[in-house]
Structure 1
Amino acid sequence: MLSSDPLFWLLAIVGVIFTGISKSGLAGGAGVVAVPLLALVISVPEAAALMLPLLLVMDIRTISLYHHAIKSYRSITTITVAGLIGVAFAGSAMGSLDTNSLQLILAILCISFALWNQLSPLLAKLPGSAMIWGTLAGITSTLLHAGGPPISIYFLAQQLEKQQWLGQAAIFFAVLNFSKLIPYTLNNQWTEELLLTSVLLIPFALLGVSLGYRIQKLISQDNFMHMCRAMLLISGVSLLVKL
């Protein structure tokens, strides 16, 4: 039983709070650590199923904080459509895709981009970059809840203002996470215990979002970009450690 394991609760609370901070204060790039942490005590599919309801709560709260900063929803239409394509692909292949290979590729991309600033203008000029990173985010988000790094790579290349970035990311992931309810249900990812545990962790999810919102107010635009690159690096290393 999850409820009887103190280590599980420690890792779950830390992972959930850090994910909330990441979503509302650090552009989501560090949210990838939650599943690797939980996977130390439960399986990856269980960890992903546990986190999904909490991610939905975080998305809704983050949107309420940043919706005013979104100047045009058209700017995220393409990446959102691409993300849904990625969700559909990963959902249809859930259980058969080699998640280790996917993790390795994503980890290499995260680390490379975090350490090589010159990649930003190159990625900005890639034909179909929104489709590329949006689709990859949909795939990695469905399988690992690791959609933050690909979208961070895309948004860094677009040089968005801090709050606009956070608002667009919140909308993008809200749409993806709600759509992920379909493949998770079809693949029987849910159990009564996991859902109950998710409900019990909701206060920590809201606490994380609140902390993240306060943190971003103290960070300048330049420092925000530096921290996003740092979060990409941490995400990439976390993915490698989980392999």
Structure 2
Amino acid sequence: MDSLLASPLFWLLALVGVTLTGISKSGFAGGAGVVAVPLLALVTPVPLAVFLMLPLLLAMDIKTIQYYRQHTSVAELRKIVPAALAGIAAGGLLLGRMPVEALKILLGGLSVLFALWHHLAPRLGGMRGAAWLWGGISGLTSTLIHAGGPPINIYLLARRLPKLTWLASAGIFFGIMNAVKLIPYLMSGRWTPGLFALSLLLLPIAIFGTWLGRRIQGKISESQFALCCRALLLASGLLLITQALIVRA
């Protein structure tokens, strides 16, 4: 832990990764929320990066909820939250056991496919059982690699929600998921006081990122917002695939 505190590269990567995640959370419904863990994994083991980010993600969720809560769609949350909880339970059982690289390639491939194939997302996102499918996958991938954004945004893209409703509903969805994820994370025994203290040191960056995301989304239209979310879905998918292939190589 002391080596990380003294590493300029760690602080640079943390500044970039946490800021971009905050912008994504409050500005684009978590569309690029997968970026922080891969960046931090360049200088620290993936499990450490995953545990380091959870308190920061919770703080970002709280700020996002404060910004947009009055626009929440309770009807959408009733569909996707139970599925996400089931996914978290499955992820908790698989934590540290499932080959993460295979999961990243699968999730990344789906994200790229839906981002590029404009007519596919509305069809599969609106099919019978779509809320359980994408909500469950989001809970699973969020627990294992903090990558719950791409699956749920595939679903939300199909729903064609107004921008603020999308942001509010995604904020509460991720807030619930990340709060519940505390249980399997604490049970794993990998969380240390030093790691939590390091998360607290990065907290101002997380708050700044969410503030910046809110400022950015206020300057774009509904159509631009949907286009940005699709672009971030593509970028997230490519990032997941690239990271998995680099690790395998």
The TM-score bracket by the shorter chain reads over 0.9
Identify the residue that residue 247 of structure 2 maps to in structure 1: none
| Residues 179-222 of structure 1: CA deviation (Å, up to 9, x unaligned) | 00011111112122211110011110000000000000101011
Identify the residue that residue 46 of structure 2 maps to in structure 1: 44
Range moving further from structure 2, 108-117 or 74-83:
74-83
Alignment of 1:96-107 (within 5 A): 96-107=97-108
* Alpha-carbon separation, structure 2, partners of 1:201 and 1:152: 26
Residue type at the aligned position of 1:128? G
Which secondary structure state, in structure 2, belongs to the residue aligned with residue 209 of structure 1? helix
CA RMSD of aligned residues (A): 0.9
Identify the residue that residue 150 of structure 1 maps to in structure 2: 151
Identify the residue that residue 197 of structure 1 maps to in structure 2: 198
* Alpha-carbon separation, structure 2, partners of 1:54 and 1:213: 17
* Alpha-carbon separation, structure 1, partners of 2:124 and 2:200: 39
* Alpha-carbon separation, structure 1, partners of 2:146 and 2:19: 15
Is the CA contact 2:18–2:36 (under 8 Å) kept in the aligned structure 1? Answer: yes
| Residues 121-163 of structure 1: CA deviation (Å, up to 9, x unaligned) | 2113322000000000001000110000001100000001000
Alignment of 1:74-223 (within 5 A): 74-223=75-224
Structure 2 unpaired stretches of 5+: 245-249
Residue type at the aligned position of 2:210? V
* Alpha-carbon separation, structure 2, partners of 1:94 and 1:207: 30
Residue type at the aligned position of 1:27? A
Name the % identity.
Answer: 52
* 1:240 matches 2:228: no
Structure 1 unpaired stretches of 5+: none
Deviation at 1:78, TM superposition (A): 2.0
Identify the residue that residue 22 of structure 2 maps to in structure 1: 20
TM (norm. structure 2) is 0.95
Residue type at the aligned position of 1:236? G
* 1:56 matches 2:87: no
Which secondary structure state, in structure 2, belongs to the residue aligned with residue 30 of structure 1? coil
* 1:29 matches 2:31: yes
TM (norm. structure 1) is 0.98
* Alpha-carbon separation, structure 2, partners of 1:77 and 1:17: 30
| Residues 4-39 of structure 1: CA deviation (Å, up to 9, x unaligned) | 111011101111110000000011010101100001
Which secondary structure state, in structure 1, belongs to the residue aligned with residue 89 of structure 2? helix
Is the CA contact 2:79–2:131 (under 8 Å) kept in the aligned structure 1? Answer: yes
Residue type at the aligned position of 1:48? V
* Alpha-carbon separation, structure 2, partners of 1:237 and 1:25: 20
Residue type at the aligned position of 1:144? I
* Alpha-carbon separation, structure 2, partners of 1:242 and 1:43: 13
* Alpha-carbon separation, structure 2, partners of 1:159 and 1:184: 34
* Alpha-carbon separation, structure 2, partners of 1:143 and 1:196: 22
* Alpha-carbon separation, structure 2, partners of 1:134 and 1:178: 16
Residue type at the aligned position of 2:24? S
Identify the residue that residue 228 of structure 2 maps to in structure 1: 227
Runs of 4+ in 1 over 4 A off after TM superposition: none
* Alpha-carbon separation, structure 2, partners of 1:147 and 1:201: 21
| Residues 36-60 of structure 1: CA deviation (Å, up to 9, x unaligned) | 0001011111001000000010001
